[in-house]
Amino acid sequence: MLFHVEMDVRIPHDLPVEKVDALKAAERVRAMELQRTGAWRHLWRVAGRYANVSIFDVSGAQELHDILSSLPLFPFMEIQVTPLCRHPSSIHDDDR
């Protein structure tokens, strides 16, 4: 099942730099891992903002929540989830 997810990252300016760097590095590792498993199907940067638009391919809302809530930057992200389904005019088998 596909979910459209927008994540806006807002890191408080008084968080220690080392902590921020560690969080970002961990986030990056986890994001790559999840892309490899196929759960995080697409990942794009929104031009001009510390934000991304993503497509997740998971078994359902539970798996999606487990993934998102365990992201290292989760406590500093504004997240918006939109469930997707197949568009009747789509010609791509994959865009379920």
Neighbours of 11 (CB within 10 A): 15
Q: Is 3 in the site for a copy of itself (CB under 8 A)?
A: yes
- Cα–Cα distance between 48 and 1 in angstroms, integer? 30
Nearer to a copy of itself, 18 or 75 (CB): 75
Q: Is 91 in the site for a copy of itself (CB under 8 A)?
A: yes
Are 42 and 35 in contact, with CB atoms under 8 Å apart? no
Closest among 56, 52, 2, 48 to 27, alpha carbons compared: 52
Q: Is 31 in the site for a copy of itself (CB under 8 A)?
A: yes
Q: Is 60 in the site for a copy of itself (CB under 8 A)?
A: yes
Q: Is 73 in the site for a copy of itself (CB under 8 A)?
A: no
Closest among 72, 87, 86, 58 to 7, alpha carbons compared: 72
Q: To the nearest whole angstrom, how small is the minimum distance from the Cβ of residue 22 to a copy of itself?
A: 15
Using CB under 8 A as the criterion, which residues of the chain lie in contact with a copy of itself when the complex forms?
1-5, 11-15, 27-28, 31-32, 35-36, 42-50, 52-53, 55, 60-62, 64-65, 68-69, 75-76, 79-92, 95-96
